[in-house]
Structure 1
Amino acid sequence: MFKDIIDFIESNPEASYNVIIGTDSHTRDEEETCFVTAIIIHQIGKGARYYYRKNSQRKVSSLRQKIFFEAALSLDCASKVARKLSENGHSELNVEIHLDIGANGRTKELIKEIVGMVVGSGFDAKIKPESCGATKVADKHTK
């Protein structure tokens, strides 16, 4: 996957890119929660390509615990992607993390903590409605 990402970026080095990481989850049944982390490489003005990974865990019933775990999965992935980009001469590319939280709804109390965790780790954080990496791309593959 990393080779494909680097090849995609290097196929048009004059283009501008956004690198987006987002995680979403869905509790499928009484015993399992499916977490999906997406990596999106957006070539501005030309479209995007994405990759995703599914990870099933024992059911997570606490919304707070689920959101923190989503953020932790995104941070782990973002760190690996940023390191690989840097190793391949693309440290100028900014990696942003899209979070499945927003000012409306049950997650509003978590915004300060989760965004602080992401920003404190050196990444930009986006929340709803600007967090399509989590709310659209990763969400699509949780069901």
Structure 2
Amino acid sequence: MDFISPSRGKMSFEEMLEDILAYIKGLPCSSYRLVVGTDSQVRRETCFVTAVIVHRLGKGARYYYRKEIQRKIKSLRQKIFLETSLSLELGDKITTYFSRGGIAETQVEIHIDVGQQGETKELIREVVGMVTGSGFEAKIKPDSFAASSVADRHTK
């Protein structure tokens, strides 16, 4: 599972997490948000992009992303649930890694590409329930920048 950092290039999952830890330890007195979000684009196939953002509140951020190509998914419902599942899976791996590394207090937010406007509003309760039931904080549009902005940029 390779990730890409716009500033550091291609990295493994472990290298990404070590980079995040180094970023946090670089200014330990700051507050941080760790955010995961997935977006997708359907063409002949479906391109899923999952973004991981470490936000140093008031002082910038770093982000990483990975791409995954799957068969063409025509159902919006199925696509949204798969995006959410990919974010949850990665959020769980990050949480597990950090709890072993002694910084379990860093909470992971899951950003879902659904909102009150448009076709996805019917799915909000279900996917937010899926995320909160898994122990994560859920954010939807317009607050889901990891999915609707960062990941979206790399699906094109």
Q: TM-score category by the smaller chain?
A: over 0.9
Secondary structure of 1:70 counterpart: helix
**Does 2:93 correspond to 1:80?**
yes
Match of 2:37 in 1: 22
Match of 2:111 in 1: 98
- 1:47-58 equivalences under 5 Å are 47-58=60-71
Q: Would you say the 8 A contact 1:18–1:44 is kept in 2?
A: yes
With normalisation by structure 2, the TM-score equals 0.89
Query: How far apart are the structure 1 equivalents of 2:147 and 2:108?
Result: 14
Q: Would you say the 8 A contact 1:6–1:88 is kept in 2?
A: no
Match of 2:3 in 1: none
Match of 2:134 in 1: 121
- Superposition deviation, residue 124 in structure 1: 0.2
Secondary structure of 2:138 counterpart: strand
Higher relative contact order (CA 8 A, sep 6+): 1
Match of 1:8 in 2: 23
- Superposition deviation, residue 115 in structure 1: 0.2
Gap runs ≥5 in structure 2: 1-15
The Cα offsets for residues 71-109 of structure 1, whole Å up to 9 and x where unpaired, read as: 000000000111111111111111000000001100000
- Superposition deviation, residue 2 in structure 1: 1.1
* Paired letter, 2:39: D
Ranges of 4+ aligned residues in structure 1 off by more than 2 Å? none
Out of 92, 100, 110, the position equivalent to 2:123 is: 110
Out of 47, 52, 74, the position equivalent to 1:61 is: 74
**Does 2:42 correspond to 1:32?**
no
Match of 2:5 in 1: none
* Paired letter, 1:89: G
* Paired letter, 1:8: Y
Secondary structure of 1:103 counterpart: coil
Query: How many residues matched?
Result: 141
